[in-house]
Amino acid sequence: MSLLPMLIISIGLLFLVNHQMRQVGAEEIERIRDSLIESKQEALQHYVEIAITAVKPYLSSAIPTSQAMESAKEVLRSMRFGPDGYIFVFDKQGNTLVHGMSPQLEGRNLYDLEDPDGSRFVRDLIQEGLKGGGYVAYIWDEPTRNGLTPKLSYAEAMLGDQWVLGTGFYIDDVELAVANQQAILDAQLSQTLMRIFLSALAIILLACIAVLMLGQRIVKPAEQTSKALKDIAEGEGDLTKRLDVISDDEIGQVAQEFNVFTDKIHQLVKEVKTSIESLSESTEVMKVVVTRSHEDSSLQQSETTQVAAAIHEMSAAVEEVAGSASKAASAALEADKEARAGQ
C-alpha cells in the first residue's frame, strides 16, 4: 500500500510532462510555421521589388505613354518565380491589368472575388498595396496542385497608386514541412515519454525491492522478538539466547533492550532457583530432624508403656501380697480366738 501514492504521483507526473511537452511542441510548431511564412514573405517582397525595378525604365516619365505601359505589362507577364510564381496587377477599382498565369482574366473586375472561406482577397490586396504594401493569405483554385490550395500574396502600389502590383506563393509546402516537423516532434515526444515511463518503472521497482528489504529487516527482528517473548510468557523460553543486533537504528535498540530485559529475567530466575534450592535443602534437614524426633518419641512412648506395664504388674503383686497378708491376719485372729476359747 505504501507504493500506491508513489505510483499515483508517477502517473500524474507522466501526464503533466506529456501535457507540458505537447504544449512546448505546439509552440515550436507555431514558431516553425511563422519562420517559414516569414521567409516566404521576405521572398515575396523581394520578387515584387524586382518586378517594379524591371518595369521602372518603361514608366519613368511623369505620364507614361500607352506604348510604354503595354511594354511594361509584357515584361510583367513574362516574369516567373519558381514553378508557379507570377506577377499580377490590378487598378484601384479591381480591374485585372496583368495576370501572368491566366491572361484570360485580364480586363475582368475581380474586386469582389471571394475564396471558399469567404475572403475577398483581391480587395484586401488592393487595400494593403495602397497602404504601402502588405500580405494577404487566401485559398486559390490551382489545377496543377489538384484544386484548392492555400496561397500567400504580397502587393505594393506603383505609378502614383494607379497600379497595385503583386505576386504570391502557394504555401502548402509550408504546411507539409510543418506536418513533417510535427511527426518528428511526436516521435521525439513518444520516445521521451517512454524513457520517463521506463525510468519511473525502474524507480518503482527499486522502491519495491527497497521496501521488501526494509520489511525483512524490520519484520524478521520483530518476529524474533515476538517469538522470544511468547516463549518466555509460556514458560518455554531459553533465557540464555539473545537477539542478533545487526543495526544501530530503532530495531537494533529494541533488540538491545530485549537482550537487557532477558538478562534481568535470567538473573532473577537464577536467584529464585538458588533460593528454592536453599529452601529445599533446609526442608530436607528439617525432614531429617522431624524423622529423628518422631523416632525418639516412639522410643520414649515404648519405654513409657513398658514402665507402665511393670508398675501395673507390681501393683497386682502388691495387691496379691496384701490379700495374702489379710488372709494370714484373719487366720491368726481365728487361731487366737480358738486358743483363747480352749483355755
pLDDT digits (tens, 9 = 90+) for 64-117: 888 999 999 999 999 998 778 899 999 999 999 999 988 999 999 999 999 999
Is 90 exceeded by the pLDDT of residue 5?
no
- What's the average model confidence in pLDDT over 212-219? 69
In terms of Cα–Cα distance, which of 259, 223, 233, 234 is closest to 244?
A: 259
User: Strand 85-90 relative to strand 96-99: parallel, antiparallel, unpaired?
Assistant: antiparallel
Binned at pLDDT 50, 70 and 90, residue 207 comes out as: confident
Above pLDDT 70, what percent of the chain?
60
Rounded distance between C-alpha atoms, residue 130 and residue 166, angstroms: 12
Is 60 exceeded by the pLDDT of residue 1?
no
Q: What is the mean pLDDT of the chain?
A: 78
pLDDT of residue 290: 44
Is 80 exceeded by the pLDDT of residue 288?
no
- Radius of gyration of the CA atoms of the chain, in A: 67
Distances in Å between the Cα of 149 and the Cα atoms of 34, 45, 174 are: 18, 21, 12
Higher local confidence (pLDDT), 337 or 116: 116
Does residue 170 come out as left (phi exceeding 0), alpha (psi in the -120 to 50 range) or beta?
A: beta
Q: Model's pTM, two decimal places?
A: 0.55
Q: Which residue bears the cell 514553378?
A: 83
The dihedrals phi and psi of 108, each to the nearest 5 degrees, come to: -90, 145
β-pair partners for 236? none
The dihedrals phi and psi of 142, each to the nearest 5 degrees, come to: -115, 110
- What's the average model confidence in pLDDT over 136-142? 86
pLDDT digits (tens, 9 = 90+) for 39-72: 999 999 999 999 999 999 998 887 888 899 999 9
In terms of Cα–Cα distance, which of 184, 167, 34, 203 is closest to 89?
A: 167
Give the range with max mean pLDDT: 17-21, 132-136, 222-226: 132-136
Residue type, 73: K
Is 50 exceeded by the pLDDT of residue 30?
yes
Above pLDDT 90, what percent of the chain?
31
Does residue 238 come out as left (phi exceeding 0), alpha (psi in the -120 to 50 range) or beta?
A: beta
Rounded distance between C-alpha atoms, residue 137 and residue 119, angstroms: 9
